[in-house]
Chains A and B, each alone.
Chain A
Amino acid sequence: MKKVRYVGILMICLALFATACSGGGSGGGTNGPAASGESSAPASASGSESGLPEVTLTWYYGVAQVSPDQQLIEDEVNKIIKPKLNATVKLKPIDFGSYTTKLNTASAAGEEFDLVWTANWAFNYDENVKKGAFLPLDDLIDEYAPETKKAIPDFTWDATKHQGQIYAVPNYQTVISRYGINVIKEYADKYGLDPASVKRYEDLEPFLELIKQNEPGIVPFMLVGPLTKFHPFFWGYDDYGVKLGDETYKVNFLEASPEYKQFVELMHSWFEKGYINEDASTVKQIDSSHNGTFAASIEYTMKPGYEAEIKAKNGGRDIIGIPLTDVTTTRTSNIATLTAISRTSKNPERAMMLIELVNTDRELFNLLSFGLEGKHYEKLSDNIVKTNPNGGYTASNWVFGNVFNGYLIEGQAEDTWEVTEEWNQSAVVQPTFGFNFDDTAVKAENANVAAIRAEYEPLLFTGTVDPAEYLPEYIDKLKKAGVEKVHAELQKQLDAWVAEKKQNG
């Protein structure tokens, strides 16, 4: 009797322990067994390729939708890499919506995996570098991935550096940013708008007035709150608020600058005149701005040939892109897609060899990106393919590696890669490029400032509120949240960075 009782208690305790541990995610741990010292520093590999012991690599990456034919692709991939690396790879595609949650947890829990896709918009690169989730790669790249290193321009590598060390290999593609206005061609033609004459927002005003008067039901200037930003480069600042050409690298309080005031005042006057959609500050989804009921909107990345891509989303209406800035390259545009090696990887050398292979072997890269010829895509010409959306395999070429090695998709111009490469190389590299603000010292202030920005920016940028009243209030709140302390820290780090850069020539 007594024995039964104790067994019972034990069972209950076990069961309760299981539930106790299952409780809601309490902010998703940052620590875990992270930073448990330098794990397996890149030992200089001994032995030739043939002498390598067989290993299995795990590769996490994001996809829009997991494909039914995934296993088939994995088998084919292994057929290619097995003889070359004596390794097999386990592909783990995760949908973008779950990617950050899943990988953050797995990484914090110290799960073993080798290659992992990271970016500034999912499974955040900077955060995870700071947490120590990735291995530093400089030595590995030099030793095992010389071709990849050569193919990617230096400034893109610089963007990945954290305290001088590279922590991920960029999946090289479009790395430029260009900001401007989209105008629906139909209306531009009808009301005689000369795209070349638009150099700043004000130049658009007569056109918007005509739309407002003559096209009922059409929003003259469609804005989407959280997406609408004050673009510093357009006003002569770079991402950190340093005036272009300023040798002293002084950080400016952009919200208090005259340019900022000018921008929000213009937007407010447009809102008052009814040019801007009334729900602009609350609309979240970009598709609501693409239902074809607008005449003009803001565009953030005008890469070569983007008009054709947007046309499809826009009910087949032609778009004219009017750039307002030069082609520039920013740190964020360079770290939009990267592949890192996890701290928990048992075989970092082999993982780097695989990265090199994906970035140099066209067959492997195209297999991962597009699947099998005849089943998942048809070749239209040597270089251009037509994908089959119901074929059973879809992935994005930019999660795997250098897209310039791959096929073009139907609809892209034959010279897309050449033009993109030319833009990449000729883009203005901003003076603070490569600098990466480390907010550990002012974490709380930075978070508060970000929260206030998220609250006020959509209201001010879409002109929904009167800046005469709200702009001073906004600046005041930012100051109370500690924006000056953040700027002071930023300035300190930037000064140190500039000094270091000067020293190194």
Chain B
Amino acid sequence: MNESALKGGRVSNAIFHLFFVLLSIGILAPFLLIVSVSLTDEKALAEFGYSFIPSRFSLVAYDFILQSPAALLRAYGNTIFITVIGTVLSLLLTSMVAYVVSRRDYRLRVPLTVYIFFTMLFSGGLVPFYILMTQYLHLKDSLWAIILPGMLSPFYVLIMKGFMGKIPHELIESTKVDGASERRIFFQMILPLSTPALATLGLFIAFNYWNEWFNALLFIDNDKLVPLQLLLVRIMNTLDFLRNNSEYIQSLGLDMSQLPNESMRMALVILVAGPMMFIFPFFQKYFVQGMTVGSLKG
């Protein structure tokens, strides 16, 4: 009896294992393919197509990109600046807004929450946004044009509110009785208690900033301020665009050989994605806790 149950457990375990092994392969395989393509000789790519093991090994793509690393390094600098400053400011703002609407003794809590929710459903549209940014805030060609719009996401505010709402209100009251100011309550009590939520949202926000390119595309003309992802998107998009319109371009005579080739694009993908992949494991321990926001916990 016991033994058969054990066997059953083993079988279902094996099925689960198999499932997750396949899932992991499904996730890893495309990435490995990119790595392999970036290390393959361009001529071999044209001849044999993509393969998991480089048919002819070559480091030319990386050589070429790193040959004049100035643009890449500057883009890295910009992206790191945007990500760090943006994440810190965004976390501060998000937690402050969330804290206010999570306080049960705050009179405007419901209308404010509704207002926040409302902004999730309706947006001004691209053109008004552009006009606001360029003609009223004069943020064209500035890194703030990338940082500011991403600073407060209503969705994150609501997640944070859910988490902070779980903190017993009595705690706040008793601290108040002991004479703590509102500022002190927030910074010394609420924020430390919200570390898991902060870490989780921090990771999300950091990813958003790291991957941001659309605002950069709209607002950044100065080549020195281009973030990493825009550099990548420019190369990928332009190449795809030119190929898809080659019907017209052929007559114009654009020399496609000037453009980066396949292995170079893949090498760039790896250089761009790299750092974030290494950051992820460090956040993982908070991640599990933070994600259970809203469910029952001990």
Contacts and interface: CB of A to CB of B under 8 A. Distances in A.
A19 B124 contact: no
Interface string B199-233: 00000000000000011011001010000000001
A65 B233 CA distance: 12
Contact of B123 (A21, A177, A313): A21
Chain B contact residues: helix, strand, loop or mixed = helix
Interface in B14-40: none
B88 interface: no
Interface stretch (A42-50, A97-105, A436-444): A97-105
Interface in A1-51: 4, 8-9, 12-13, 15-16, 18-29, 31-32
A383 B249 CA distance: 24
B262 to A, nearest CB: 8
Contacts of A8: 100
Contacts of B239: 97
B251 to A, nearest CB: 4
A432 to B, nearest CB: 20
Contact of A312 (B130, B182, B257): B257
Interface stretch (B112-120, B169-177, B190-198, B268-276): B112-120
B123 A26 contact: yes
B253 A398 contact: yes
A285 B253 contact: no
B135 A109 contact: yes
A398 B43 CA distance: 30
Nearest to A175: B251
B123 A97 contact: no
B248 A120 contact: yes
Interface in B103-161: 108, 112, 115-116, 119, 122-132, 134-135, 148-154
B283 to A, nearest CB: 24
B243 interface: yes
Contact of B242 (A19, A96, A110, A119): A96
B189 interface: no
A227 B247 contact: yes
B256 interface: yes
Contacts of A23: 119, 122-125, 129
B124 A21 contact: yes
B185 interface: no
| Interface size grouping (class) on chain B | 35 or more
A389 B126 contact: no
Contacts of B127: 28-29, 31-32, 105, 108-109
A482 interface: no
B241 A97 contact: yes
B134 A111 contact: yes
Interface residues of A, number: 73
A398 B123 contact: no
Contact of A285 (B126, B218, B237, B244): B244
Contacts of A337: 252
A481 to B, nearest CB: 24
Contacts of B252: 173-174, 336-337, 396, 398
Contacts of B125: 23, 25-27, 29
Nearest to B244: A284
| Interface-centre pick from B70, B100, B251 (highest chain A CB count, 10 A) | B251
A484 interface: no
| Interface-centre pick from A13, A22, A26 (highest chain B CB count, 10 A) | A22
Given A16-B116, A97-B236, A389 B258 contact: yes
Interface string A56-75: 00000000111010100000
Contacts of A29: 125-128
B53 interface: no
Contacts of B233: 97-98
Nearest to B49: A291
A97 B149 contact: no
A162 B152 CA distance: 45
A337 B154 CA distance: 44
Contacts of B150: 22
Interface stretch (A205-213, A254-262, A301-309): A301-309
A495 interface: no
Contact of B126 (A105, A121, A309, A332): A105
A121 B217 contact: no
Contacts of A27: 125-126
Nearest to B243: A285
Contact of B129 (A16, A22, A312): A22
Interface in A103-124: 105-106, 108-111, 119-122
B85 interface: no
A300 interface: yes
A18 B149 contact: yes
B46 interface: yes
Contact of B246 (A28, A65, A286, A409): A286
Contact of A25 (B97, B126, B134, B234): B126
B234 A95 contact: yes
Nearest to B217: A98
Contacts of A13: 115
Contacts of B251: 174, 176-177, 301, 303, 333, 336
Contacts of B151: 15, 18-19
A186 interface: no
A98 B46 contact: no
A66 B223 contact: yes
Contacts of A300: 247, 250
A256 to B, nearest CB: 25
A92 interface: yes
Interface in A272-322: 284-287, 291-292, 300-301, 303, 306, 309, 312-313, 315
B112 A12 contact: yes
Considering the complex of A and B, which 8 residue pairs feature the smallest CB-CB distances, nearest first? A23-B123, A97-B237, A97-B238, A29-B127, A22-B149, A25-B126, A301-B251, A21-B124
28 contacts: A12-B97, A12-B112, A15-B152, A16-B115, A19-B152, A21-B123, A21-B149, A22-B123, A23-B119, A23-B129, A26-B123, A28-B127, A68-B223, A97-B238, A97-B239, A102-B217, A108-B127, A108-B130, A110-B131, A120-B248, A174-B251, A226-B244, A292-B46, A301-B251, A309-B253, A313-B256, A315-B43, A336-B251
Given A97-B233, A110-B131, A119-B248, 12 more contacts: A15-B93, A23-B122, A64-B254, A65-B258, A65-B259, A70-B223, A102-B218, A108-B127, A108-B130, A285-B244, A287-B243, A336-B248
Interface of A: 4, 8-9, 12-13, 15-16, 18-29, 31-32, 64-66, 68, 70, 92, 94-98, 101-102, 105-106, 108-111, 119-122, 173-174, 176-177, 226-227, 284-287, 291-292, 300-301, 303, 306, 309, 312-313, 315, 332-333, 336-337, 389, 394, 396, 398, 409
Interface of B: 43, 46-47, 49, 68, 70-71, 93, 97, 100, 108, 112, 115-116, 119, 122-132, 134-135, 148-154, 182, 214-215, 217-218, 221, 223, 233-259
